[in-house]
Amino acid sequence: MIAKRKLLAVTLATGAAVMAAGAGLSIARAQDTTSTAPATPTEHQWRHGHGGGEWRLYSKLGLTSEQEASIKAIFAAAKPSMKALREQMRANHQKLEAVTPDDANYATVVSEVAATNATLASQRTTQASQVHAQIYALLTPAQKTQLAALKAQWAAKAAAWKAAHDNT
C-alpha cells in the first residue's frame, strides 16, 4: 500500500514537472521571437503543442511597440532562471531513468527525484506567475478583457478537442 502511494506521489510530481517544463519551453520559445508579429503556427505545430503558448494570445491584443518591447524584456530577464530550472528538471529525470526497479537504491532515488521535482515545479510555477503578473500589469483594461475572452475561447477549444479525442 505504501509503495502504491509512493508511486502515485512520484507520478504526480513527475507530471507536474513535465507540465512546468512544457510551460517553460513555451516561454523560452516566445523569447526567441524576433519579429514584432509572430507567424501563425502551422497545423503540424498546433497538433504537437508548438503553438507559441501564451505569447500567441498576447500577439492578438494589438500591443503597442512599447508593450511588445517591455514584454520581450520581461521574457529576456526571466530566460536564464527558467532555463536553469528546465536543465535541473531534465537532469533529475535522467537520474530516475538511470535506475531500474530492481536496483537496490531504486526507492531512494525515486523518493529523492520526487522531492526535488516538487521543489523545482514550485519554483517554476512561482517564476512563471511572476512573469505573467509583470506582463499583465502592462496591459490596458480593454486588453485584459480581450485576453480573458481569448483564454476562454482557447479553453473551450481544448475541451472540445479533448471530448472528441477522449477514448475512455
Residue 13, C-alpha cell as written in the block? 510530481
> In the chain, what is the greatest distance between 2 CA atoms, to the nearest angstrom?
59
Domain that holds residue 101: 2-165
Residue type, 152: A
Mean model confidence pLDDT for the chain: 77
Q: Distance between the two ends of the chain, CA-based, in angstroms?
A: 26
User: For the residues of 2-30, what is the DSSP string, one character each?
Assistant: HHHHHHHHHHHHHHHHHHHHHHHHHHHHH
Confidence at 165, pLDDT banded by 50, 70, 90: confident
User: Average pLDDT, stretch 65-86?
Assistant: 91
Asked whether the predicted pLDDT for residue 16 surpasses 90, the reply is no
pLDDT computed for residue 67 by the predictor:
92
- Residue among 113, 136, 156 at smallest CA distance from 18: 113
pLDDT computed for residue 19 by the predictor:
52
- pTM listed for this prediction: 0.60
Confidence at 158, pLDDT banded by 50, 70, 90: confident
Which one of 1-10, 23-32, 56-65, 101-110 scores highest in mean pLDDT? Answer: 101-110
Backbone angles phi, psi at 145, to 5 degrees: -65, -45
Residue 37, C-alpha cell as written in the block? 508579429
Question: Comparing 117 with 41, which gets the higher pLDDT?
Answer: 117
CA–CA distance, 153 with 149 (Å, rounded to integer): 6
Domain count, the chain: 1
